[in-house]
Each structure stands twice: as structure tokens, then as C-alpha cells.
Amino acid sequence: MQWLECIPIRPRRTEVMPDLMPQDRSVRATASQGVSAPAARAHKLLLEGCWLLIVVALATAVVATTAHTSGRGEMMFLDGDSMVVPLFARSLISAQESDWGMSAVLFVPELFLYLLVSILPLGVAQVQLVAATLNLVCLYLALRLAAHWVMTSSQRRVIAAVGAYATYCLLILLEGAGDRNSLELASLLTLTTYYSGTVLAAIVTVAAAQRAIAAPTLPPVPTTTLIAVSAISSFSNPLFVAWVTLPLIIVVLILPRATAWSRRAWVSACLALSAILGYCGRLPLDHWIIANGDNYFRSGHLAQSLAYYTDLFEARVASPQGIASCTVVIGLVGTALAFSLRTWRERRAEGALVAGYAWFAPLAVTGGLLLLGTEAARYLQVWIFAPIMIILVVVDRLPARRTMWQASASRRMLLLLIPCVIATGVTVWATVSAARAAQATDESLSCVVNWVDHSDRTGAGQFWSVRAVKAHIAEPARLVQVDYQMNGYGWLVDRNDFQAEAVSFLITDSQTYPFELAEPYASAPYTNVDCGRFSIHDYGELEIPIGPVWPQ
């Protein structure tokens, strides 16, 4: 990191006149060229719109590519976990009484986005695609807001946010073949279940904390945003505390002494209070949250956990794409560490919190997971979203040089015109391609969905096999989620479904563990209906009883 010594850090501003605030400089510069302030703002909005159009095009292209891959395409359309948000959303839309058995995660932001997209006349697979695209667009918006709060150079904010966003998209494009137990972590943002809301909230919270720490006076908007986003995220997903709250408090407390102790104490208190408020909000929903500590904490399993993550890392670097992805991530983490050490040595607060979080949070979370004996690759997403934030700090600290982005607004509009036209074409192509991917997946799925809808009977299946079908049929309650011994499996499902005491057909696929039915059902004849990847074992008039529901 010798090159970092060549990058000057701007002197800390101790006093800023109102007419020289960063957000006004582009307007003032344009006004000095004979353009009115309203016209300058209009140019600025048009430039932002052009970049947003390019971002949307990149998002649709990335989602279309991901949908066609073997691993992530399977998870997007057919995975048992990925169906929790569609099923939960249908339950809320129906306005019927429900009794859900949830994990520790309540999926509040993800559910809100899915319900918003559900207004459109689309099927489940198409809604998943739109939600995936919006997740990526929201990633850019979070990075753009972060750039506004973190960076001092107003003219570099858009290009820095686009650069960080493009880096994230590159990491997604280097993935696709792995299953849910792999270190292909960036592409999890395109799924509705794997904590996309928490990832976006983490970026916004870190940026808000940086702004609250470095501003001459305590800014009300970032501080309020920090409290609100942290509280909602802690309520929705306790993992937010491990990903953001605890690492961020530690980084805040060890910031350079240039930051007032009172300001650091205030930001730390806001983070801690938000976590407490979020957890208190979960208490009325205790009946729905059936997960217990044993699902996540396994003290004494450090060796097994270390072996698990080591195997995943070895599998990830076994391909050129994996090596490239790991190289990018490690390079970002190393850059963040170098910047953090330099800002600490020079006692500067600007960018210090973001830089410290970008390298400390991944290491701290990994160490915590090992000590707790956890085995879940998805918990390591902090290795993706935390390091990319250092790009904002790096771009802000680059030497000042006149580029096209510092030219007049009219010239920048002309230079962006061709990319905008190309982006529009890419968006159309990617939308059609993604729709074809969803349609191809629907071929075997539609077969079993049509059969169930026309059977007018109740059936059953295991978690990984039946949930995609359950999410698509007209009446989800007519498919009961069971284990291999025909006991009710009340995990991430409406437990009112278990009012059905018996079923007359079973749905299986390659992920189904062989059923162990009691006699006389084990030897009873059945008709096998072939639906491609799915098979339907139709027992006709025979009713197979469902055992007790677990977990309670």
C-alpha cells in the first residue's frame, strides 16, 4: 500500500461558509458561467437521472444473467427458503387469520418491497425478478446516499457511488454456480430471503454514523436516519446487531482523538438504544418466532465451524472466477486497513469510521461466528458490502484533476447521451432474457401446480421440495409441509395449514429425503405422475395421517 502515501488527505474544515457547502458548489460553478441556479439544478437532476438509467440497465442485466445460472437461478425460483416472502405476502394479502412459525428473521424490508411489486399483474417468478432488480437499484441508492454523507467532494459523489455499485455487480457476475452453502455471497442480494434489507440498512447506517461523527455540529437528518434504520433493522433481523451495531460501536470508540469523546459517546448510545428498541419490538411477536438459540449458537464447535468455512473458501478459490472475486475483496479490505491506519495516525475523522468498519467488521463477524460454532455461509455477506464502502473514501481522497465530470453540465449531458441510449437497449434485452429464464423454470412447476389445482384434494411434501409449488397454487393451505416421517414441519410456514389431518398425495423431487411411512401406507399402491423435476405420488382415496407439528 505504498501508493497510499501519495494520496493527499484534505485538511479538515473547521469552518464552512453556507454559500460554499459541497452540495452547492456545482450549482455555484454553473451559475458563474452564466447559468441560473434553477437551470443548474435541472442539469444536475438530469445528470443524476442519466446515471440512474445506467444503473437500472446494469441491474437488469445482472439479474438476467443470475437467473440463467444453475445455482442462483435455482435458488431464485424454486428454493425452499426463497419462498418464505412470497408465501408470507400472500398470507397478508388474503387478510385471513394466520399463525406463522418464523425463524429469528422477520423479513420486514423484504416483505414491504415484495408487497409493493405484487401490485403489478405478475406471477410469483416474475415478481421475484422485479424484486431482485429493485434490490440492486436500492443498493445504488444506498451507496449514493452514503456518498452524500461521507464524501466532501460533491462532484465525485455520483461517480464514486456508481464505481462501488459496479464493483458489487462485478462480484455478482463472478458467481452463479454455487448453492446456498457456498461463499458466493454477493448474488444473495438478488434473492428476497437472504437479508437484502439488512445489507442496504448496514450501508446507510455506517454512512449516517460517519456523517454524525465528522460534521462540525450534530446533523439531525443522519442522526435520525441512524436511529430509525437501526431500530427497524434490529427488529427485522437480529443479525444486524452482529453485522453493524457491535462492530460499529467498537470502531467509533477507537476513532482518532480528533473526534470529540462526547460525539463518539452519543453515536454509540444511539446505536445501542436502536438495538434495544428493535428487540423490544419483537416481544409481542414471540409466539411467531419459534427459532431458539440452539439453531444458531453451538459453543464448543469451533473446530467444526473452522473446518466448514475453510472448506467453503477452498471450494470458492478452486475456479478462476472465485480467485478473481476473492482478490477484489481482499484488495478492498487491505485498502481499507491502510486508510484506517493513516487516518488514525494523522488523527483525522473524515472517512475514518467508514475505513475502520470496512476492514474490522468482516474480521470481527468471522471471529464471532467461529467462536459460536455457527455454520452458515450467508452470515458472511459482510465481507462483500462492508469493503465496497471504502471506494467512496478512496475516490474522495484522489488528487484533484479536471475531468469530464468537472466539466459543464451541458457537456456531461452530451457525453452521457450515448451510454443512456445503450442502457435503454440493455434494459429491454435483459428484461426479455430474465422473463424467458422464469418461463423455462415454470415448465415443470406449472405441471404440478395445474395438477394440484385441478385435484381438489390436499397433499403434502418436504420443505425443500414443496414450497415452490405451495407458493404458486391457488390455495397454499392445500399443500402441507411435513418431514420424512409425515410429521407436520412448522418452519417458515403458516401453522394453520396443519388443520388438515390427512393427505392423499405426496410431492417429491431430487431433494426429497425418502419417506418412512407407517403400515399400511408404506406398502399401499399409488399412481406416479411425472412432472419433470417433480413427481406426484397419488394415493387416490387413501388418506395418510399427518403426525404432530414440530418445532413448537
Which strand ranges, in their side-by-side order, compose the sheet holding 479-481? 479-481, 459-461, 505-508, 534-538, 527-531
pLDDT score of 328: 97
pLDDT score of 407: 52
The amino acid at 383: W
Question: Is the model's pLDDT at 191 over the cut of 70?
Answer: yes
Grid coordinates representing 418? 450515448
pLDDT score of 426: 77
Tell me: the pLDDT tens digits for 333-378?
999 999 998 887 777 778 899 999 999 999 999 999 999 999 899 9
Grid coordinates representing 2? 505504498
Q: 434494459: which residue's cell?
A: 427
CA dist list (Å): 427 to 53, 64, 125, 327, 393: 9, 10, 18, 29, 30
pLDDT score of 10: 47
pLDDT band at 200 (very low <50, low <70, confident <90, very high): very high
Query: For 440, phi and psi rounded to 5 degrees?
Result: -65, -40
What distance in Å separates the CA atoms of residue 315 and residue 182, rounded to the nearest whole number? 8
Tell me: the pLDDT tens digits for 239-271?
999 999 999 999 998 886 667 888 889 999 999
Percent of the chain having pLDDT more than 70?
Answer: 88
Tell me how crowded residue 175 is: count the other CB atoms within 10 A of its CB.
Answer: 24
Q: Which residues of 444-470 are buried (b: 16+ CB within 10 A; e: fewer)?
A: bbebbbebbeebeebbbbbbbbbbbbb
Q: Is the dihedral of CA 393, 355, 334, 343 positive or negative?
A: positive
Mean pLDDT across 316-332: 96
Question: Is the model's pLDDT at 95 over the cut of 90?
Answer: no
Question: Is the model's pLDDT at 279 over the cut of 50?
Answer: yes
Mean pLDDT across 17-40: 49
pLDDT score of 22: 41
Question: Is the model's pLDDT at 380 over the cut of 50?
Answer: yes
Mean pLDDT across 78-85: 92
DSSP state of 286: T
Question: Is the model's pLDDT at 535 over the cut of 60?
Answer: yes
Following DSSP, what letter does each residue of 336-376 receive, concatenated? HHHHHHHHHHTT--TTHHHHHHHHHHHHHHHHHHHHHT---
What distance in Å separates the CA atoms of residue 107 and residue 232, rounded to the nearest whole number? 11
Question: Is the model's pLDDT at 35 over the cut of 60?
Answer: no
Tell me how crowded residue 154 is: count the other CB atoms within 10 A of its CB.
Answer: 18
Mean pLDDT across 193-197: 94
Q: Among 199, 133, 168, 190, which Cα is nearest to 325's?
A: 168
Structural domain boundaries of the chain? 50-93+110-419, 456-550
Are the C-beta atoms of 486 and 544 separated by less than 8 Å?
A: yes
Grid coordinates representing 524? 399401499
Tell me: the pLDDT tens digits for 422-470?
777 877 877 777 777 777 667 789 999 999 999 999 999 999 999 999 9
Tell me: the pLDDT tens digits for 389-411?
999 999 998 876 655 445 555 66
pLDDT score of 293: 62
pLDDT band at 17 (very low <50, low <70, confident <90, very high): very low
Tell me: the pLDDT tens digits for 163-177?
999 999 999 999 988
Mean pLDDT across 20-36: 46
Question: Is the model's pLDDT at 9 over the cut of 50?
Answer: no
Tell me: the pLDDT tens digits for 498-508?
999 999 999 99
Are the C-beta atoms of 365 and 333 separated by less than 8 Å?
A: no
Across the chain, mean pLDDT equals 87
pLDDT score of 258: 66
pLDDT score of 411: 63
Are the C-beta atoms of 552 and 289 separated by less than 8 Å?
A: no
The alpha carbon of residue 152 and the mean position of all alpha carbons in its chain are separated, in whole angstroms, by 27
pTM listed for this prediction: 0.90
